[in-house]
Amino acid sequence: MNLLAQQLINGVFIGSVYGLFAVGYTLVFGVLDILNLAHAAVFTLAGLSAVWLVQTGGLSIWIAFPLATLMAGLLGLLLNQVAFVPLRKRADSQFSGLISSIAMAIIFESACLGLFGARSVRFPQGTVAVQVWHVAGVTITSLQVGIVLTAALLMVVLHLFIRRTRTGKAIRAVAENERAAMLLGVNVNGIIAWTFFISSALGGAAGILYGLYFDQLGPDMGRSIELKGLAVIILGGMGSIPGAILGGVAFGLSEVLTVAITGTSNLRDAVAFTVLFTILLLRPSGLLGRVKLREA
């Protein structure tokens, strides 16, 4: 029983990181209908930069975290400018955007290798003071709580931003109908740039939290989360932010539960992808997504 409770809690912790990663993914898809496959590369770059800032720069994680997040956001702007703006007027921009994001992912990944090397690294000992609590037979560390709180805080801020501010309203308008938004005087290109900034910053934050949680970062760490992130946004519904959060936690739980039930980690991803496959067939709009008449 305790073991199960422990697993469930671990699932929520890792699920919140997945959710944070997936929110960025789904934001761009919701606004542009484009799958940004370079998202995972930004995730990796931000995580590795944070390690570099702490280790070589000697900064505290409390400064390194926002700095690396900001840098990830700026990378998002670069990504938008290089890979997506030139293609926007093209008829097949959904497809060519996917391809150019793959190209940028390769370029970013080569930058990771060039700047930080191929070996896996970790945050230096004591970057974050870790306390361990035992509550009712369940072990929780302050690091885990901090990760969930940070992820939750970022998501609440994002939610308020999207719901309450003028820019957020404009983002929703562009997502709804780009042309109508433009006719109403929304600066569509600026809004799309904003979206990329926010999306990539969130992805970068997820990368740092992921690195703190697993205590290991490498140039290929984006590869596994890339597929998981896709699964999460399909599960939650493409373009739906609450769906991405819910999907992230559900995915985290399904991972730990599969391990707990089967006793091995081999089938962990199989369950997730089988669920993904089934959802696509039965309800392509996901759990919380809007049903579109025609999936273009």
Point out which residues bind other proteins (CB under 8 A): 29, 33, 35, 82-83, 86-87, 90, 92, 94-96, 98-100, 102-107, 109-111, 113-114, 223, 227, 230-231, 234, 238, 266-267, 269-270, 273-274, 276-277, 280-281, 284, 295-296
CB of 234: closest distance to other proteins in angstroms? 6
Q: How far is the CB of 41 from other proteins (least distance, A)?
A: 10
Neighbours of 74 (CB within 10 A): 15
* Residue nearer to other proteins on the CB measure, 99 or 180: 99
254 phi, psi to nearest 5 deg: -60, -35
220/260 with CB nearer other proteins? 220
Closest distance between other proteins and the C-beta of residue 2, in Å? 29
Alpha carbons 176 and 174: distance in angstroms, whole number: 5
Contact indicator for 248, 21 with CB cutoff of 8 Å: yes
Nearer to other proteins, 96 or 142 (CB): 96
Q: Which residue number, 110 or 139, has a Cβ lying nearer to other proteins?
A: 110
Other C-beta atoms lying within 10 Å of the C-beta of residue 233:
29
Shortest reach from residue 273's CB to other proteins, in Å? 4
166/294 with CB nearer other proteins: 294
Q: How far apart are the C-alpha atoms of 106 and 177, rounded to whole Å?
A: 31
CB atoms inside a 10 Å sphere around CB 181:
20
Minimum distance between the CB of residue 287 and other proteins, rounded to whole angstroms?
A: 15
